[in-house]
């Protein structure tokens, strides 16, 4: 019987073992969103795993159910908009992938740099947890607190956001005292920082219909399919021939928001 439990960030000082199979025992975990606790249901079928790129081929051969579409090589973290700290130097290239939990035992634990669970959202989408999370400082004085926590909990400070220097990115390994979600929750609940949130992996759901009541009205264009989804841009762009369209303000929001 699988136990139903939540992870208590207050007790995070205990060092937890990090085998992948740990996560199939946890059913409900929470994440903070705008000061509200949001429950997440663990997906018992797969996990996010990080290994050294040099070892990936041997790992792949031992685990036949690595999901190829989610394999990614990480040589640096520049894609996150990080300005690397002077102390951080990435020593080895890493490769991340999604693993079917049925293949857990086929991977040598010594090859795993980091692992974390996948979750199911309320609309059925899969949500993964990477090894990276971000923390926003309330002021310059918080940097010393961040550095102290990073040292105590075996975290690495990757650097600051190049657009907002008050936001810092940290990474976890299996030697850390929690995964990125646990550590982000811990830092937020400490009250010492403005916010903390993990970097998620969201699998694309191109056929998903938004649950926003007014979604179908936001484009005000003639659709040929579902309301609000097909904006029929090929015909709509003819409107740019009219001079008064300079008064129209268009905002584009990606799925990272």
Residue 38: which pLDDT band, with cuts at 50, 70 and 90?
confident
Residue partners of 227: CB distance under 8 A and separation at least 6: 215, 216
Task: Report pLDDT for 52.
Answer: 87
> What is the mean predicted confidence (pLDDT) over 206-217?
62
Residue 105 makes CB contacts below 8 A (sequence gap 6+) with: 21
Nearest 5°: phi and psi at 130?
A: -80, -170
pLDDT tens digits, residue range 214-249?
Answer: 666 555 544 555 554 555 555 555 665 655 556 666
Span 21-30, average pLDDT: 44
CB contact at 8 A, 118 and 28: no
What pLDDT, on a 0 to 100 scale, did the predictor assign at position 114? 93
Looking at residue 93, what is its pLDDT? 86
Most confidently predicted of 7-16, 22-31, 39-48, 217-226: 39-48
Residue 21, pLDDT > 50, answer no
pLDDT of residue 45: 84
Tokens of 227: 């309301």
Q: Which of residues 54 and 16 earns the better pLDDT score?
A: 54
pLDDT tens-digit readout, 102-137: 666 677 888 889 999 898 877 777 888 899 999 999
| pLDDT category of residue 6 using cuts at 50, 70 and 90 | very low
Over the stretch 153-203, which tens digit does the pLDDT of each residue have? 999 999 888 888 899 999 999 999 999 999 999 999 888 999 899 988 876
Average pLDDT over residues 56-78: 71
- Say whether pLDDT at 16 is over 70: no
Q: What is the pLDDT of residue 186?
A: 92
Q: Judge whether residue 64 has pLDDT over 70.
A: no
The pLDDT assigned to 181 comes to: 92
> Average model confidence (pLDDT) for the chain?
72
In this model, does residue 147 exceed pLDDT 90? yes
Q: 137 near 166, Cβ under 8 Å?
A: yes
The predicted model gives 51-66 an average pLDDT of 77
């Amino acid at each position: 019987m699988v136990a139903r439990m939540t992870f208590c960030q207050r007790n995070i000082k205990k060092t937890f073992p990090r085998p992948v199979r740990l996560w199939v025992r946890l059913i409900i975990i929470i994440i903070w969103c705008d000061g509200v606790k949001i429950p997440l249901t663990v997906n018992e079928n797969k996990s996010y795993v990080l290994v050294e790129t040099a070892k990936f081929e041997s790992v792949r051969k031992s685990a036949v159910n690595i999901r190829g579409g989610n394999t990614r090589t990480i040589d640096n973290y520049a894609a996150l908009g990080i300005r690397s700290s002077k102390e951080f130097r990435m020593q080895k290239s890493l490769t991340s992938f999604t693993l079917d939990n049925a293949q857990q035992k086929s991977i040598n634990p010594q090859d795993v740099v980091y692992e974390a669970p996948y979750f199911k959202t309320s609309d059925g989408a899969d949500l993964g947890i990477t090894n990276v999370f971000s923390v926003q400082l309330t002021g310059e004085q918080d940097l010393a607190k961040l550095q102290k926590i990073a040292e105590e909990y075996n975290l690495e400070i990757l650097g600051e956001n190049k657009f907002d220097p008050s936001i810092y990115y940290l990474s976890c390994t299996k030697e850390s005292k929690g995964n990125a979600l646990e550590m982000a929750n811990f830092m937020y609940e400490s009250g010492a920082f403005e916010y903390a949130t993990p970097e998620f992996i969201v699998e694309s759901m191109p056929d998903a219909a938004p649950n926003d009541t007014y979604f179908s009205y936001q484009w005000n264009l003639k659709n040929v399919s579902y309301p609000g989804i097909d904006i029929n841009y090929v015909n709509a762009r003819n409107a740019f021939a009219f001079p008064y369209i300079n008064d129209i303000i268009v905002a584009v929001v990606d799925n990272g928001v």
